[in-house]
Amino acid sequence: MVEWTDAERNAIATLWSNIDVGEIGPQALARLLVVFPWTQRYFSTFGDLSTPAAIAANPKVAQHGKTVMGGLEIAVKNMDNIKAAYAKLSVMHSEKLHVDPDNFRVLAECISVGVAAKFGPSVFTPGFQEAWQKFLAVVVSALGKQYH
Amino acid sequence: MTHLTAKDKETVKTFWAKISSNGAAIGADALSRMLVVYPQTKTYFSHWKDLSPGSAPVKKHGATVMSGVADAVAKIDDLTAGLLSLSELHAFTLRVDPSNFKILSHNILVVLAIMFPTDFTPEVHVAMDKFLAAVARALSEKYR
């Protein structure tokens, strides 16, 4: 089980309560598709991903970004058992979606960049960054757990 | 990782021109974050009295590191040759494990997102990520 300090729980709760998944999610997914273009392999049915502008304007990217970001709610609500809480989603990503789990790590990076840009230096302090990145790392690990 | 395209270099140079006056502040913040978020990196600075965010040695060293990055921007067309002496320094004297270049690069990108949220678009992000990876590669040249 992951140990969370009170400061870490507070940081994650503070950030999460101020995150609009409909805003951050689409930005993070769009960023992923531009910065790590090989990730587009999973979205051949999404239509036009040919340029950064097309990706930013793509409604399927926006919708899916919102869905994925909303998935973090599971972790926020199950901080003391994130691994078990994501077991089903992990199986799905492995056996149905066939997503290389390294993609979870790079998406987490894109989410962190978006959150950093949104909250700025007075909220997204080094301490908050530590808590947030630890939180995402635990989710990333949980999503990769059921792969074999 | 691939090489830098002409477009990558142009994007990096344009963005750098906008932000270079903040170099020292960027370096200080990136280093501060690195030491907090990746505590294993503190092992390289056991000779500093104060490793807390924004401390004097952290600020000074952040500025040093970013002036190296500035130098790399100027030598973007041949990083291997341009960063030769820095590579020798890192390989033979400092012996920083190259995995840490990636960690510091990540924190530089986070700081850029924080300080320049509208300019740090996905296109600028990918060019800077590639550039910092190329700098890391050039710095690792002499390791073995």
Q: Is residue A32 domain-resident?
A: yes
Query: What is the structure's pLDDT at B143?
Result: 86
Residue A11: domain span: 6-144
Distance from CA of B80 to the nearest CA of A (A): 24
Q: Read off the pLDDT of each residue in B21-33 and give the average, rounded to a whole number.
A: 97
- State pLDDT tens for residues B75-117: 999 999 999 999 999 988 888 888 899 999 999 999 999 999 9
Contacting A residues, span 89-118, partner chain B, CB-CB under 8 Å? 109, 112-114, 116-118
pTM to 2 decimal places: 0.85
Residue A57: partners with Cβ closer than 8 Å, 6 or more residues away: none
Phi, psi for residue B50 in degrees, rounded to 5: -135, 115
| Number of structural domains found in chain A | 1
Residue B93: partners with Cβ closer than 8 Å, 6 or more residues away: none
Interchain proximity B115–A121, CB inside 8 Å? yes
Q: Give A96-100 contacts, CB < 8 A, sequence gap 24+.
A: A97/A42, A99/A42
Q: Between B143 and A4, where is the model more confident?
A: A4
- To the nearest whole number, what is the mean pLDDT of chain A? 95
- State pLDDT tens for residues B106-133: 999 999 999 999 999 999 999 999 999 9
Within 8 A of A114 by CB-CB distance, chain B residues are 113
CATH number of the CATH domain containing A57: 1.10.490.10
Find the Cα–Cα–Cα–Cα dihedral B33, A75, A119, B119, rounded to 10°.
Answer: 80
Give the chain B residue nearest A114 (alpha carbons).
Answer: B113
Find the Cα–Cα–Cα–Cα dihedral A37, B113, B133, B92, rounded to 10°.
Answer: -160
3-state secondary structure of B60: helix
Question: Band of the pLDDT at B1, cuts 50, 70, 90?
Answer: very low
Q: Is residue A1 domain-resident?
A: no
- State which amino acid sits at residue A99: V
- State which amino acid sits at residue B142: K
Judge if ipTM > 0.85: no
Residue B44 in this model has a pLDDT that exceeds 70: yes
Q: CB-based contact (8 Å) between B8 and chain A?
A: no
Question: Which domains are delineated in chain B?
Answer: 6-140 (1.10.490.10)
Within 8 A of B106 by CB-CB distance, chain A residues are 109
